[in-house]
Amino acid sequence: MSSNGLDSRVPSGPIAEKWTRHKFDMKLVNPANKRKYTIICVGTGLAGASASASLSELGYKVKTFCIQDSPRRAHSIAAQGGINAAKNYQNDGDSVYRLFYDTVKGGDFRAREANVYRLAELSVNIIDQCVAQGVPFAREYGGLLDNRSFGGAQVSRTFYARGQTGQQLLLGAYSALMKEVAKKGVELYTRREMLDIIVIDGKARGIVVRNLITGKLESHVGDAVILATGGYGNVFYLSTNAKACNVTAAWRAHKKGAYFANPCYTQIHPTCIPVHGDYQSKLTLMSESLRNDGRIWVPKKQGDTRSPDQIPDAERDYYLERKYPSFGNLAPRDISSRSAKEQCDAGRGVGSTGQAVYLDFRDAINRLGKDVIEARYGNLFQMYDRIVDNDPYKVPMMIYPAVHYTMGGLWVDYNLMSNLPGLHVLGEANFSDHGANRLGASALMQGLADGYFVIPYTIGHYLASNKFEPIGADHAECKNAEAEAKKRIDTLLSIKGKRTVDDFHRELGLLCWDKCGMGRNKAGLEEALQKIPAIREEFWSNVTVVGSGEELNQSLERAGRVADFLEFGELMVRDALHREESCGGHFREEHQTEDGEAKRDDANFCYAGAWEFSGIGSTPNLHKEQLEFNEVHLATRSYK
């Protein structure tokens, strides 16, 4: 399975037995020896919190870091809709194999089969674990768990807690983490931002963080490092990500040798509140679960300015139902997003900007009653009303796609370890499970599978297979990394230019959205590849960051992150330019079928593209991991 030195370490044997066999084959760390190992975990979202808690329960010493004031605030908390699991509680034909199949197909055949199978297999344990922790999932009157449907699936396998599933799952993982903090198994460091990885003798042995309150740089060392630092969606400036989400931890690891895989696979979520002004700081998602009952449409006539209730059914185009009759409004995210763009590009978009489509609950309210709709989506309707000042019970919602999730990330093998030994990457920060498009309700599943059920096994194997020289935080590599970080901070503070950090971020974001967003083409990508280095250059000579580095300085924090986005953005565009095919969220306009669907090129691009850093502004080296599909045979995706 290796190519150009990239060994995915997928175990041999039938797909359904790989993980079981691998768990037996891996080396173990004796219970009494576990406390001799220190594991550093960065990030406290679903993946980081669940990993930290589970590793501490096993007896390892864990040091856990987060950027927020409390680990409970990581952006997993904002996930609304739900978490998939192949429990088949609905008796509708679900199985581990079907979840695996749907996920591989949904990812447009660009994920690693063995990882996806393991994910589907572990999904059932996650629900058990969460229920035991007290996660208050929605239940039926008989006291058993309820399910709803999500895009890309024809079974009901999504577990949910009202519209706040991510919040409840994270509070579960956070409570497990705080239980371990109380037992002193986990040392918790809040308001710390990771600025570098410490590599000693070719192994990741620690991190440099900045204490965001005092500005002090600290080195923390251990025997292995886990990054669970989320995705890079904020490279687009406007996204549904939280404001603090950034690529810095992953990017600094990349600069220390970790390969970055498939950065061009970005997910544009179809149902978000449209952009309305240049002061706007973020976009708000309206859960995909709304597509269970809402119908998406645009007026058939271009430039139709009638209010929606004045447009009779015969003059509406329910385009998803028309184009994809078997999945209808529950078509996968990439397809739904592109269809919305297509309608708006053709002049049928609605609202003041023409960059929106309707998501209409009229028929569901007539059929089920307002009470039922309110019980299902009340908090989402309320949120919409607050932001847009329009009552969706009366007037259809207006929605438009927005950047939401990033499938690309640091390359990892089957053990979730990057090519840099000792550096493990979990959740959205890695690249492995969703291919070129993630299905709804699968991000929560992956974060928790990685943290609760994969890393506790695989990290033990790594620790038991290697020898570790004792090191302290005063090691020369720590001092070097701290000095580098300090130099960068001092430079940012010394420029004293004329443009704010956000101003640069907006410029980069808009460029990435225009040229590397829902539709991409060669000319546009080449233009972006020219422009990003120019923006970066201006940033380093004309940015203004007021204040000092020895205090809480939020502009300085943002400056460091935007500086990294300005380097990362170039890689994302380069990856999109190199991938001369369309797959999932990566839609190259040159590569489409006659009816505008994504056209893959399996002969030439059936691989994960992992980039090796070779200097800022220098062309990175591409390593390919060839993807093999032995179970789900390569086929053109069809949701018709």
DSSP sequence for 427-495:
GGGB-SSSTTSPPTT-HHHHHHIIIIIIHHHHHHHHHHHS------TTSHHHHHHHHHHHHHHHHHHHH
The one segment of 100-108, 173-181, 311-319, 434-442 that binds another protein by CB under 8 A = 173-181
Q: List the one residue from 282, 475, 479, 599 that touches another protein (CB under 8 A).
A: 282
Q: What are phi and psi of 409, to 5 degrees?
A: 170, -170
The answer to the question of residue 69 lying near another protein (CB under 8 A) is yes
- Whole-number minimum distance, CB 209 to another protein, in Å? 17
User: In a 10 Å sphere around its CB, with 0-12 CB exposed, 13-18 middle and 19+ buried, how is residue 290 labelled?
Assistant: buried
Q: Which helix (H) or strand (E) holds 266?
A: strand 266-272
Strand-pair category, 295-299 with 316-317: antiparallel
The answer to the question of residue 128 lying near another protein (CB under 8 A) is yes
Token pair of 576, please?
């999109």
Q: List the one residue from 18, 22, 61, 72 that touches another protein (CB under 8 A).
A: 72
Judged by beta carbon, residue 176 or residue 258, the one nearer another protein is 176
The answer to the question of residue 371 lying near another protein (CB under 8 A) is no
Length of the chain: 640
Judged by beta carbon, residue 132 or residue 476, the one nearer another protein is 132
Q: Give the whole-angstrom CA distance, residue 162 versus residue 136.
A: 9
The pattern of x and - marking residues 453 through 492 that bind another protein according to CB under 8 A reads x--x------------------------------------
The pattern of x and - marking residues 81 through 110 that bind another protein according to CB under 8 A reads ------x-x---------------------
**Residues linked to residue 357 through DSSP beta bridges, in sequence order:** 399
Active-site residue, 110 included = no
The residue from 73, 118, 157, 333 that is catalytic is: 333
Within 536-565, the residues that bind another protein by CB under 8 A are 544, 546-547, 551-552, 554-555
For residues 109 and 627, the answer to whether their CB atoms sit within 8 Å is yes
Judged by beta carbon, residue 386 or residue 633, the one nearer another protein is 386
- Whole-number minimum distance, CB 117 to another protein, in Å? 20
Q: List the one residue from 77, 198, 226, 335 that touches another protein (CB under 8 A).
A: 77
The answer to the question of residue 34 lying near another protein (CB under 8 A) is no
Q: Give the whole-angstrom CA distance, residue 321 versus residue 625.
A: 37
Judged by beta carbon, residue 328 or residue 549, the one nearer another protein is 549
The answer to the question of residue 527 lying near another protein (CB under 8 A) is no
Q: Give the whole-angstrom CA distance, residue 429 versus residue 17.
A: 27
**Residues linked to residue 6 through DSSP beta bridges, in sequence order:** 3
Within 259-278, the residues that bind another protein by CB under 8 A are 276-277
* Of 206, 119, 122, 612, residue with least CA distance to 414: 119
Q: List the one residue from 31, 93, 141, 603 that touches another protein (CB under 8 A).
A: 141
The answer to the question of residue 50 lying near another protein (CB under 8 A) is yes
The answer to the question of residue 28 lying near another protein (CB under 8 A) is no
- Whole-number minimum distance, CB 229 to another protein, in Å? 14
SS3 content of the chain, % helix, strand, coil (to 5): 40, 15, 40
Within 411-440, the residues that bind another protein by CB under 8 A are none
Q: Give the whole-angstrom CA distance, residue 556 versus residue 488.
A: 11
Q: Give the whole-angstrom CA distance, residue 305 versus residue 352.
A: 9
Q: List the one residue from 4, 20, 33, 70 that touches another protein (CB under 8 A).
A: 70
Judged by beta carbon, residue 257 or residue 497, the one nearer another protein is 497
Q: What are phi and psi of 428, to 5 degrees?
A: -60, -25
The SS3 call for residue 352 is: coil
Could you give the residue ranges of the DSSP H alpha helices within 496-601? 501-516, 522-542, 554-578
Q: List the one residue from 213, 523, 616, 635 that touches another protein (CB under 8 A).
A: 213
The answer to the question of residue 136 lying near another protein (CB under 8 A) is yes
The one segment of 49-57, 303-311, 328-336, 426-434 that binds another protein by CB under 8 A = 49-57
Within 176-205, the residues that bind another protein by CB under 8 A are 176, 178-179, 181-182, 188, 190
